[in-house]
Each structure stands twice: as C-alpha cells, then as structure tokens.
A and B are shown apart, each in its own frame.
Chain A
C-alpha cells in the first residue's frame, strides 16, 4: 500500500533558525495536506497542495509540492517558540481515494 515517509523525526533549533521537514510518498498523490499538532493538542489543518510544483506561503511558512506530486516540504523561516509542535503531512493517493496516509510527523523543538 501507499507509504508516506517524513523526515526528520525530531529537529532542535535555536529561536531564529530555519526549519524544514520533508515528506516522500511511494505513489503519486492527488493532494497533500499539512497539519500542526501543539503539545497536548490535536492536529490542526494548515494547508493543502493540489498542483504539481505548487508553492504556497503562510507568513513564515512555505509549503512546496514536487513536480512529480510524490514529495512535499514545509519550511519555516526564523522559527519562534510558538512554532513548537509536531508537523504532519498527509497524502491522498491519486485515483479518487479519500483516505489519506499520514507521515509519522516531525517534532520541532525551539530553544529560546
């Protein structure tokens, strides 16, 4: 079945440094979503990417979808302590399925 690999599992940064997490799917995706889970909270939808090569920005967050629609990345510029949490990607396989496959998440720890 479809697999979505997400790296790294953990990332420690100093406040102000940049951060990137990567997702790679074993199959072509129709859509990829990104979620953030704060410590003690539940995953919250951030964004979805649909088009090949798509790039979307939300303030300091930049999301990319690969040309082949099999990989994606989330980049945070100049991290802040409020960015702490686990970031998950979730890929929807092409072909009409509505069951996403989640990556295992990247936990971001920001040191002040």
Chain B
C-alpha cells in the first residue's frame, strides 16, 4: 500500500512565524503535490514537483514556497504565516504512466493549520 505521511495532523502558529509542513511518500513516485482545502472551494493546487529539485507553481502559490531535496520528501514552507493561510493542507503523490494513461493520486492525512 502506498503511504503518504505528513508531519503533523494539527498545527497552531502565530502570524509572522515561519512554518514548515513535511510530507513523505514511500512508493518512489516522481510527482508530489501540495494542496489546500477550504470549505466550498475544493482542492486548490499550491505547488507541484515532478522530480528532485524541480517544482512548478500551482494555482495559488503566493505566500508559499517548497523544497524537494529527496525524491520521497516534499516540504511546504510558509515564509511568514498569515491568518488567511488557516486551512487544511494536503500532500499527495502520484504515479503516471504516459501512453497507458494510468493515473492515481494518493493523499496524506492532512495538516490542519491554524494561524492566530
């Protein structure tokens, strides 16, 4: 079974703090993602990485950065947390077989971040 783990289930931080969210997957997947999930807005992509040290901005990258130094680990960084970054953060990894078309995404349990 694919396992995607996230460093914390719940996190409370103060405005202006630097926040690190860690994600680790154990299936040697190339692709990893960070989403935030807010009621009524669904899943919004923050950043995406398709290889070590490679990253692409998603739909809402402002206020966030990422790091992927090892294939299995993808970190999301909030440089200076703000209250509007209070949300559920979900990490995912995926396996994609071009040509065959197989695609599955596996999600971690999520980190509920509250910024006060």
Q: Which residues of A pack against B, CB within 8 Å?
A: 9, 30-31, 33, 35, 41-45, 48, 50, 88, 90, 92, 96, 98-100, 102-105
Contact = CB atoms under 8 A, between A and B. Distances in A.
21 contacts: A9-B40, A31-B103, A41-B109, A42-B90, A42-B110, A43-B107, A44-B107, A45-B105, A48-B102, A50-B101, A90-B105, A92-B103, A96-B98, A98-B94, A98-B103, A99-B48, A99-B56, A100-B103, A100-B105, A103-B42, A104-B40
Given A33-B103, A45-B104, A102 B42 contact: yes
> Max chain B CB contacts within 10 Å: which of A31, A98, A100?
A98
Interface size class of B (residues with CB under 8 A): 20 to 34
A43 B90 CA distance: 9
A108 B42 CA distance: 14
B68 to A, nearest CB: 15
Interface of B: 31, 33, 40-43, 45, 48, 50, 56, 58, 90, 94, 96, 98, 101-110
B101 A30 contact: yes
A98 B29 CA distance: 12
B106 A99 contact: no
Contacts of B58: 99
| 8 tightest A-B CB contacts, nearest first | A104-B42, A50-B101, A98-B96, A42-B107, A102-B43, A31-B103, A43-B107, A45-B104
